[in-house]
Amino acid sequence: MSHEQINQHLSHWTERESTAEAMIPLIGRLYRKNNVVTSVYGRAIINQSVIDIIRAHRFVRQVENSELSVHDTLPILQAMDKLDLGRAHVDIGKLAVKFKEEGGDLTEFLKREIGTVVGQYAAQSEEDANNDTKDVVLYGFGRIGRLLARILIEKAGGGNNLRLRAIVVRQGGAENDLEKRASLLRRDSVHGPFDGTITVDEQESALIANGNYIKVIYSDGPDKVDYTEYGINNAIVVDNTGKWRDEAGLGLHLKSKGVSRVMLTAPGKGDIKNIVFGINNDWITDDDKILSAASCTTNAITPVLKAIEDEYGIEDGHVETVHSYTNDQNLIDNYHKGSRRGRSAALNMVITETGAAKAVAKALPILKGKLTGNAIRVPTPNVSMAILNLNLKKDVDVDGVNEYLRDMALHSELQKQIDFVNSPEVVSTDFVGSRHAGIVDAQATIASGKRLILYVWYDNEFGYSAQVVRVVSQMAGVNYPIFPKRARD
């Protein structure tokens, strides 16, 4: 290779960097002014670095037959910035690929593709904007609670959205309790540092995270808080404790002043609706005061199972979950009321029960009685896998089912729930931070006749938390139209 060719590689790279740098203020302005969330084939590009934006574009070659360059998407952003858009989720990567295929006038193309939000922006006074927000309270501040806080704080940047107003915890007993809780939000061994700044207000018992003022309330019961004292009204309480799972227990929250609805981040018992966003969120009504977001495993497998049921039909099957250990297990051998869970989580694979297979039927009734399930807890702190061993009503082959699931991940209404990877080298840590409910591993797919085995990765913490926020957003009436509706027919 000549010296000139070597220099060309570096020159092309610096050109891409310069173009990505030009995209950043456009991405930010669309988000903060218009409340337009932009992505590239499902990869968020808000608050991302130049390298992250280039990497998101590079991902496209794994799922499409052509490359996608920042030179293709920058004109999309520039044109969108002039269209006075209303609130929306817009995948500029998919729009760019479609525009390359169709050609023509870019502005007219965008008006066809995202026309329902063109010209829909209306500047609001600060008072009006505040009236359009919905107060959210996190009851409990463990693994899921802190990740929910991260997502809610991140999404507050666009305004007119969910507003995290308070977290409720029990008094830890330490003099520096507030600082300890702030530190756990600031630093995470699995998910890395908090993206922003956190200030502790000891006098007011509050955290200020990226400008979000979050009251820290100490209480020993869900019915013992008067939220209106803190200016919190008509709030959605997200119960992360898992202590109360039935209507009687969760209903205690509704006895506290300032609470309108309750969301449980665990499978609900009795008649509580278990919602898997993307599957049965249309079941949510204004009359529902208590809802459940089901479990992380149920959220991971139900969208994939629905996709397979819709296309091939499922006779029956077995779900084996290979799940990272959880805080419920013992770090070293010690007494535990559950079978096997007393043995060291860091040293052992532990067989345990899971209700996820049966719970699928609560969100997808057509599969009632068709699935069995079991779980193996393994010595990893996060990211799990579900192995779906299915007997189908139609014959299936590996290439056909992978192509179908790839299309579902990229272009269907389940694109935020199902992701797709086709690499022989991926391992569990590659999926830390994934916001999809589950990720189909195409290289592991096995098919023969009517028999199908799928391997589905999922970040059992972050992916699940993203699903919870989607449900809470719908409860709050904060809905974003998603574009393009379908990138190709």
Q: Can you tell me the distance from the alpha carbon of 436 to that of 27, in angstroms, rounded to the nearest whole number?
A: 22
CA dihedral 170, 174, 176, 178 (to 10 degrees): -10
Beta bridge partners of 454: 388
* CA–CA separation, 151 and 164 (whole Å): 10
Written as six digits, the tokens of 66 are 């052509």
CA pair distance 379, 483, nearest whole angstrom: 40
- Any residues with CB less than 8 A from the CB of 227 and at least 6 apart, and which? 135, 137, 165, 166, 233, 235, 256, 257, 258, 259
Q: At what angle do helices 462-475 and 296-311 cross, to 10 degrees?
A: 80
Which parts of 283-411 fold into alpha helices (H)?
A: 296-311, 356-363, 398-411
The yes-or-no answer on residue 296 being catalytic is yes
Q: Map tokens 């808080």 to a residue.
A: 225
Residue 59 C-beta-side C-alpha neighbours within 13 Å: 20
Cα–Cα distance measured from residue 357 to residue 359, given in angstroms and rounded to the nearest whole number? 5
DSSP letter, residue 343: S
Element (H, E) at 218: strand 212-218
DSSP states along 65-103: SS---HHHHHHHHHHHTTS---SEEEEHHHHHHHHHHH-
Burial 51-70 (b: 16+ CB within 10 A, else e): eebbebbbbbeebbeeebbb
Q: Which helix (H) or strand (E) holds 315?
A: strand 314-324
**Cα(474)–Cα(132) distance, rounded to whole angstroms?**
14
Phi (first) and psi of residue 439, to 5 degrees: -125, 120
Place of tokens 């059992």: 460
3-state secondary structure of 179: helix
Q: Of the listed 76, 137, 216, 296, which one is catalytic?
A: 296
Count of Cβ atoms closer than 10 Å to residue 380 Cβ: 17
Phi/psi zone of residue 162: left (φ > 0), alpha (ψ -120 to 50 degrees), beta? beta
The DSSP letter of residue 181 is H
Tell me the catalytic residues. Answer: 296
